[in-house]
Structures are given as C-alpha cells and as structure tokens.
C-alpha cells in the first residue's frame, strides 16, 4: 500500500492538508446529511473509494501525487463519520472518546517506532497501511476535539468559532516550531501533532463554511481550492525517500 509518489514536506504540503481538512470534513457531513446514507453505508462507500485509490496507485507504473491527496480526502471524510459514531452511537462524552482515540493514536505511534521501518530522517512517514491507519486515527481525534470544544461552549454559534480560534493558535505554534527545526526533519511526533491540530481546525472551519455556504457549496469550493493550489503551487514530489516512522 506504499504510495509511489508523495508530496514533499513544506509550506505547500501543510496548506494542502489544511484545505483538504475543510473539504474532507464537509464531505464527511455531506454523506449522511445530503446523501442520506447510514453510518455503516457511508463508511463502506469511503472504504471502497480508498481501496480503488490504493489499487490505482499499485497499478500505476510511476504513481501520481493526486492519488495521495485523494486518499487524504477520503480518510478525512471517514474520520468525520467515525467521530460522529463514537459520540452518538456509544453515548459517551467528548472527553472519554477523545481519551480513547488519543490512546489508540499513541499505541499506533509506538508500533511505528518499534517496527522495521527506517528511523526518522526526512520527508513523510512511509505511506504504508500503518500510516493510513494512523492518519485515520489522528483525523478522528482532531474531529472529536474540534466538535467537543465547540459544543462545550454555549451557544454553539459562539463555541465553534472560539474552538476554531483555539485550533488556529495550536496549528500556528506547531508549524512555527517545525519551521524553526526544519519542516522536513522535525520528526514524527511533531508531524502527527500538526495533523491532529489541523484536523481540529478543519473541523471547525468546515462547520462554519458549511453553515454559511451550505455543505455542497463549501465542499465544492474547498475541493476546487485544493486542486488549484496543488496545480499552481508546484514543488518536486518524493518518489522514494527515507522517511519518518
């Protein structure tokens, strides 16, 4: 499942992840709210989409960076649905669900550390199955945190923007630290911390955009913005590089 072409870590990558987080959050809400699919039906559809993307990567001779970004969007949408299931189906509070998902994320990171993958050096973590499972878990945690903070502050029309401001500060601090240490080599822990913070931010901003513009319009505009950004802002991709674990 290792993707043959992945984007280089840098400002373009993080801008892309932020836009994809908004679009994926809208996509995750679009499936049950507009398409009227059940929780299980929506997840099965997204799982099939991810399988098709992974298969296209394997069948491609050289790979394509677009496949990586499509996989990110699909997993972001799935993370939104999983977070909703974790809260509404289990009837647990946001703190409990956040703690459980955070514990799973820590366990996955520990598993990556003791795996046979090369040590932290440069670029993205290896985009194997464990990477995508970790990405899904980090996205779910970010969604639960974003929704949790937004819903704890009443009314929700005030809570969600406040949560977005908090998440914006967290993203800025983490990325500033990564830039100071060199974005490409700051290490796996800071990479996944940035992913969780951006997912939290994207959940809130996606909710605000979906409320103001409607889910279909927000999803379409953010998707077009992501595609345009990646096409216009060209940087060398990484076909095969030593990577963080």
For residues 189-218, average pLDDT: 95
pLDDT for 147-202, tens place per residue?
999 999 989 889 999 999 999 999 999 888 877 765 444 467 888 999 999 999 99
Q: What are the C-alpha distances in Å from 25 to residues 152, 173, 223, 227?
A: 19, 22, 11, 16
Alpha-carbon gap, residue 14 to 124, rounded angstroms: 12
For residues 205-234, average pLDDT: 96
For residue 27, whether the previous peptide bond is cis, meaning omega lies within 30 degrees of 0, is no
Rounded to the nearest angstrom, the gap between the alpha carbon of residue 43 and the centroid of all alpha carbons in its chain is 16
CA-based nearest residue to 76, from 140, 159, 124? 140
Give residue 62's pLDDT.
85
Query: Are 147 and 203 spatial neighbours (Cβ–Cβ below 8 Å)?
Result: yes
């Amino acid at each position: 499942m290792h993707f043959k072409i992945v984007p280089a870590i840098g400002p373009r990558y993080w801008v892309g992840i932020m836009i994809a987080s908004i679009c994926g959050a809208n996509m995750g809400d679009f499936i049950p709210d507009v398409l009227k699919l059940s929780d299980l039906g929506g997840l099965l559809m997204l799982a099939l989409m991810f399988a098709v993307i992974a298969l296209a990567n394997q069948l491609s001779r050289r790979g394509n960076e677009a496949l990586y970004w499509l996989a990110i969007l699909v997993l972001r949408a799935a993370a939104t649905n999983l977070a909703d299931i974790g809260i509404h189906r289990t009837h647990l509070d946001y703190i409990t669900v956040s703690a459980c998902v955070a514990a799973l994320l820590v366990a996955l990171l520990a598993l990556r550390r003791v795996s046979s993958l090369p040590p932290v050096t440069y670029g993205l973590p290896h985009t194997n199955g464990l990477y995508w499972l970790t990405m899904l878990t980090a996205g779910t945690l970010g969604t639960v945190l974003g929704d949790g903070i937004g819903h704890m502050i009443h009314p929700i029309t005030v809570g969600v923007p406040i949560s977005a401001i908090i998440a914006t500060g967290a993203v800025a601090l983490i990325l500033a630290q990564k830039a100071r240490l060199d974005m490409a080599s700051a290490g796996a822990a800071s990479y996944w911390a940035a992913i969780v913070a951006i997912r939290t931010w994207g959940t809130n901003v996606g909710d605000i955009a979906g409320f103001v513009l409607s889910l279909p319009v927000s999803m379409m505009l953010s998707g077009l913005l992501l595609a345009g950004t990646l096409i216009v802002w060209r940087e060398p991709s990484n076909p095969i590089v030593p990577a963080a674990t």
